[in-house]
Homo-oligomer: A and B are copies of this chain.
């Protein structure tokens, strides 16, 4: 974002990509930290390269600082109530987050498959898909076919209804010849 407008696409050059990752990762973590401090929210950022299993996460130990800072700002009576509920509250939020994660993954997979379907129908072959993906794709295509057939049926029905109406209309207007 300096000296040039960024082209928002994958950076092909490996070292440039690594440098950008390092800088922007730091920036993102800082932003998450600031947001949680300023606005009384829990923010969490996870960054993981695709080739290793070592995701970087925020909050780290710095996380506790803003929690305590926030806590100290509350009226004392609220502090007490808050503390009582804290554990169950956190547990609920974790569950909610995990549910959302699962939902997102499922949704993403479906969209991925839809995209793959269009790609394949658009000239690409199926040779690079594995069995699991092919079966997913199969299901997706069948579902689409069913939808299409249902629509055809509806259109047929509409047309025949329309014809009937027209016939009735003609009869009523005495236009039968």
Binding site for B on A (CB under 8 A): 6, 8-12, 17-18, 20-21, 24-25, 27-28, 31-32, 34-35, 37-50, 53, 55, 57, 59-61, 63-64, 66-70, 73, 76, 79-80, 83-84, 87, 89-90, 92-94, 96-98, 100-101, 104-105, 107-108, 111-112, 115, 128-130, 132-133
Contacts and interface: CB of A to CB of B under 8 A. Distances in A.
B108 A59 contact: yes
Given A55-B96, A129-B83, A41 B50 contact: yes
Given A10-B69, A68-B112, A104-B60, A93 B35 contact: no
Given A9-B37, A45-B45, A61-B111, 11 more contacts: A9-B69, A21-B35, A42-B50, A43-B46, A46-B97, A48-B97, A50-B70, A55-B100, A57-B101, A57-B104, A61-B108
